[in-house]
């Protein structure tokens, strides 16, 4: 199988500032054709040619899944990140040609649910924007609880409230408002599914509270893209390709493998989907496992690594790639 999902050559049609931190980008096909339909919760991997390196970052598609005219994503600027969001905010202009991937959904709605309870924190609103449009179009039963820092940073809150008011609940941190999660989870009818997307702490809080209240694991859905962490540079031997490569401080192992011209499978590039799982042939040192995929036993075994987010410190690392 080739690496990643099939690719779509696109043109940047619009770049729209949403507030001081968030900017929205709209992509249309370069050949003028329709985009593939997608399901709410799907993401696309955006390729960025940033000087001499290629970045590939996943972003949730926020536009209406039924609208095949183009895909929109919203990106929050992260001044301390690895640079992908800064590239998008500073370099990307309408008319620019880029490449994005076919939609991939790792955060799909469970269509059996009697009710969909959506919990968003900050920029975590983006997958829900598409899901809400999909649910509204099929008379789905949903409720959104959206936590924001301030009114001015509440991306799309006005639009959501205007269109779906009784089902949309807003919470402002600066006014001391917070979702009363135990009370909210407690009264839900059987067959409710809860979905959470937001900061790491929020996801952990929702999962923990739901578990303590007896919610089944299968009814609690979360999406968390990990950004690959920076770290000390290290050296890796790719046995099958017979190449020795260097992984830079702000580069992921997967990016370093790709930069060496070696094809490696991936989908989410965020430690969640399992596609890039790679066998370790030999090592002397310590793995810095960051993914959500490998089991603790697999991590301890020293035989697997997820190169999209995990790193290594030590003398030798030989991979089957």
Partner 1 sequence: MLEGTIPSRPVYGALEIRPGRLHLIVADAEGAEAILDLAASAPPDFFAGAQIIYLPKKSGDKFVAGLEQLAPAQLYVGPSYEAALPRLRRVLAGAHMGLQVYLAGTEGLMGQAMLEATQAGIPHSAIQAEHRGSTVRRVQCVHCKGITEDVTHDPFRCAHCGLHLFVRDHYSRRIAAFQGVRVDAEDPGNIPESVERFR
Partner 2 sequence: MTVIFKEETFHDDFTFRNSPEAVKRFPFPFPEDSYMYSVNLEPHKSYRPGSVYERTFDVDEHYVSEMRDRARVLAEDPLRCQSLPHMTLAGWDLLELIMTSKAEEYPELFELHRDGTKWHWINRPLGIEQKFTFLDETTLPYGPMEYITRQTQGDFAVLDQRDDNLWMDAGMVTTQADWSLDFDIGMNFFEWHAPVPKAHEMGIFQRALKFLLNVQQGSPARRLNWTMTVYPLLDTSPENYHKWGVMKKDLTLENMGQMMHLRVELQTFFRLPRSNALVFPIRCYLIKLDELVTVPKWARRFHRVIRDLPTELATYKGFVTNRPKIVEWLSKYDDGAPTSPGIWPD
Residues found near partner 1 in the complex (CB under 8 A): 112-114, 185-192, 211-219
In the list 275, 283, 294, 311, the residue contacting partner 2 (rule: CB under 8 A) is: 275
Distance CA 124, CA 273 (A): 18
CB-CB contact of 74 with 16 (8 Å): no
Determine, following the binding rule CB under 8 A, whether residue 49 of this chain makes contact with partner 2: no
∠ CA 259-261-263 to the nearest 5 degrees? 105
Dihedral angle sign, alpha carbons of residues 251, 254, 257, 260: negative
Nearer to partner 1, 11 or 141 (CB): 141
Which x/- pattern, by CB under 8 A, does the window 163-202 give for partner 2?
A: ----------------------------------------
CA-CA-CA-CA torsion sign (215, 144, 46, 228): negative
Pairing of strands 42-50, 115-121: unpaired
As to burial, measured by CB atoms within 10 angstroms (0-12 exposed, 13-18 middle, 19+ buried), residue 255 is buried
Sketch the per residue contact string, 206 through 245, with partner 2: x for CB under 8 A, - otherwise.
------------x---------------------------
d(CA 60, CA 58): 7
Which one of partner 1, partner 2, none is in contact with 104 (Cβ closer than 5 to 8 A by kind)? partner 2
Q: Distance between CA atoms of 64 and 62, rounded to whole angstroms?
A: 7
User: In Å, how far from its chain's centre is CA 316?
Assistant: 31
The H or E element that residue 307 is part of is none
Which residue lies nearer to partner 1 by CB, 32 or 216? 216
Residue owning tokens 């089991």:
295
Cβ 207 to partner 1 shortest distance, Å: 13
Of 321, 317, 315, 292, which is closest to residue 302 (Cα–Cα)?
Answer: 317
Closest by CA to 286, choosing from 316, 254, 318, 307, is 316
DSSP structure class, residue 138? T
- The two tokens of residue 275 are 């596609």
Segments in 78-166 forming alpha helices (H): 84-91, 126-137, 157-164
CB of 2 to partner 2, least distance (A): 8
Judged by CB under 8 A, the number of residues near partner 2 is 25
Which of partner 1, partner 2, none does residue 30 bind (CB under 5 to 8 Å by kind)?
none
Cβ at position 143, least distance to partner 1 in Å? 13
Indicate whether 19 belongs to the interface with partner 2 (CB under 8 A): no
**Cβ–Cβ contacts within 10 Å for residue 297, how many?**
7
Q: How far is the CB of 134 from partner 2 (least distance, A)?
A: 8
CB of 178 to partner 1, least distance (A): 21
Query: By rule CB under 8 A, what string of x and - marks binding of each residue 282-321 to partner 2?
Result: ----------------------------------------
Q: How far is the CB of 135 from partner 2 (least distance, A)?
A: 11
Residue number, 75 or 219, with CB nearest to partner 1: 219
Choose between 214 and 261: whose C-beta lies nearer to partner 1.
Answer: 214
- Identity of the residue, 46 or 185, whose beta carbon is nearer to partner 1 in the bound complex: 185
Q: Give the binding site for partner 2 (CB under 8 A).
A: 1, 5-6, 36-39, 41-42, 65, 102-105, 108, 110-112, 134, 138, 218, 267, 273-275
């Amino acid at each position: 199988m080739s690496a990643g999902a099939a690719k779509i050559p696109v043109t940047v049609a619009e770049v729209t500032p949403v507030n001081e931190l968030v900017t929205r980008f709209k992509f249309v096909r370069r050949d003028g054709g329709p985009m593939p339909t997608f399901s709410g919760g799907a993401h696309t991997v955006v390729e960025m040619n940033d000087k001499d390196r290629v970045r590939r970052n996943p972003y949730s598609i926020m536009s209406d899944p039924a609208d095949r005219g183009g895909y929109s994503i919203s990106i929050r600027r992260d001044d301390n990140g690895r640079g992908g969001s800064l590239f998008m905010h500073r370099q990307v202009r309408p008319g620019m040609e880029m490449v994005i991937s076919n939609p991939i959904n790792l955060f799909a709605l469970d269509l059996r649910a009697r009710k969909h309870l959506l919990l968003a924190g900050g920029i975590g609103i983006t997958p829900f924007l598409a899901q809400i449009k999909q649910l509204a179009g099929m008379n789905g039963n949903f409720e959104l609880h959206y936590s924001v820092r301030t009114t001015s940073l509440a991306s799309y809150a006005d639009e959501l409230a205007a269109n779906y008011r009784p089902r949309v609940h807003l919470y402002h941190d600066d006014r001391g408002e917070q979702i009363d999660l135990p009370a909210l989870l407690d009264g839900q009818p059987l067959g409710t599914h809860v979905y959470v997307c937001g900061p790491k702490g929020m996801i952990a809080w929702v999962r923990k509270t739901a578990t303590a209240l007896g919610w089944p694991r299968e009814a609690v859905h979360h999406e968390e893209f990990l950004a690959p962490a920076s770290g000390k540079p290290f050296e890796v031997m790719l046995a099958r390709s017979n190449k020795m490569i260097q992984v830079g401080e702000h580069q992921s192992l997967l990016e370093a493998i790709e930069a060496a011209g070696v094809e490696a499978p991936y989908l989410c590039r965020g430690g969640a989907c399992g596609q890039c799982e790679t066998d370790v042939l030999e090592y002397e040192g310590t793995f810095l496992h960051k993914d959500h995929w490998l089991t603790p036993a697999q991590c301890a075994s020293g035989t697997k690594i997820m190169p999209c987010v995990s790193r290594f410190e030590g003398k030798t690392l030989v991979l089957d790639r």
